[in-house]
Amino acid sequence: MEHTPVYKREKTEGEYNPSNISEGYHVTTLERDLHVVSQEVNTVCEHLGLGMLVDDGCRIHLDAYQGVVNFPEKKLKGDADYVERKEAEFIWEGALKKMSQQNGKGIYEKKRTVTEADKEAISYHFYQTYGATTTEEIRAVWHKERAQGLAEGFEMLITALFHKAFGKEFITVRSSAYDDYAHGIDTVIINKKTGELVCAFDELHEFGGDEQHRERSERRSREKRENIERMNKEGGMTLTYGVTKNERGFQRKSIQHVPILCLSLETKELLDALREFTLDGGLSENEEALCRSITTTLIKQAIHMEDVIRSEEERRASEQGMHLPIEGVPVRQHLQHAGHSLARMLEILDVQEGVENTIYPI
């Protein structure tokens, strides 16, 4: 998406107005909270020698890797271009779907190619509704609309909630947009003492509602979990924009063989959590219960995934007459480390009640 006018028509000064987007219940408070979290995380990261690692949305940003070994300018630009192309696809397809639903025509097909005629109609829609005439303005509208969605709210909530609960010992951040779009990783947790990647997970919000919605949600959940299991059995994913620690201290680098876990909440549970969350004070009873539930779920998943991968290793070794470690072993090692760190997080919950929320000491 080039930053040029996509709907060529004169407009008056001040006509562009993305504030026409209605703000959801979590936007004004949760986005502000996440901005505070981002500042605190960057304070910690600067102390660790990682620089300003995250943006205002607490998402790892590619600019933080400029000048870092193995991240040449050409790669950073290529990955930034990839993000821009993917967001352009999301914008066109999402707007086409929304317009089809509004018009009641039911003509939207997810797999069909968005035509130039579609793009013209979509551009005109953005112009009429928001006064957006350039791709920069359309992208700003899209990002603001996206923030109203439950999927985005889920990511923001988990990041802020885990920072509040575990920020003294762990760094919780949203993955880079590149790792989100290319590898399906939403959130990463890093042990502040050891530098180990505790875990990376993909959030899934499950719809309730009528039987049709439930069936669709269950099918989507099943497909995502099966896909995650397949990826882990094949050696895990690469977190391109990651953090680790060696004898020279904390480093910004890619991490291979990262196991992915799946975190899911039903719509009502997510809505209640979004409405009740506050960054101020200690954990509320409901926040503590949600943290405990999520952490316990992740531990069970890590144990299950380790068993699945071990069985897959044994099957492959048997078929190939091998007795040596094969591809899955690094993934299992990550899962074992994850289990220990997640257990520590449960211990923190046992003693944290009433703790003031401040900028956490290193």
**Cβ distance 48 to 173 under 8 Å?**
no
Higher pLDDT, 179 or 99: 179
d(Cα 335, Cα 261) in Å, to the nearest integer? 10
| Per-residue model confidence (pLDDT) at position 104 | 59
State the pLDDT confidence band at 218, using cuts at 50, 70 and 90.
confident
Is 172 in contact with 159 (CB distance < 8 Å)? yes
The C-alpha atoms of residue 77 and residue 286 are separated, in whole angstroms, by: 43
Query: Is pLDDT at 159 greater than 80 in this prediction?
Result: yes
Confidence of residue 222 (pLDDT cuts 50, 70, 90): confident
Q: Of the candidates 30, 31, 58, which has an alpha carbon nearest to the alpha carbon of residue 45?
A: 58
Q: Amino acid identity of 185? A: I
Helices 285-320 and 329-351, packing angle to 10 deg: 160
Q: What is the rounded distance in angstroms from the CA atom of residue 63 to the CA atom of residue 352? A: 35
In tens, the pLDDT along 91-139 reads: 888 887 777 766 655 444 555 677 888 888 888 888 888 899 888 899 8
For 296-323, how does the pLDDT look when each residue is reduced to its tens digit (9 = 90+)?
999 999 999 888 888 877 887 777 765 5
Task: Please report the pLDDT score of residue 212 as a whole number.
Answer: 64
Quote the tokens at residue 92: 């066109």
Residue 89 CB-half CA count within 13 A:
11
Q: Can you give the pLDDT at residue 283?
A: 93
Digit-coded pLDDT (tens) for 278-291: 999 999 999 999 99
Query: In terms of residues, how long is the chain?
Result: 362
pLDDT at 86: 94
Instruction: Label residue 207 by pLDDT band (50, 70, 90).
Output: low
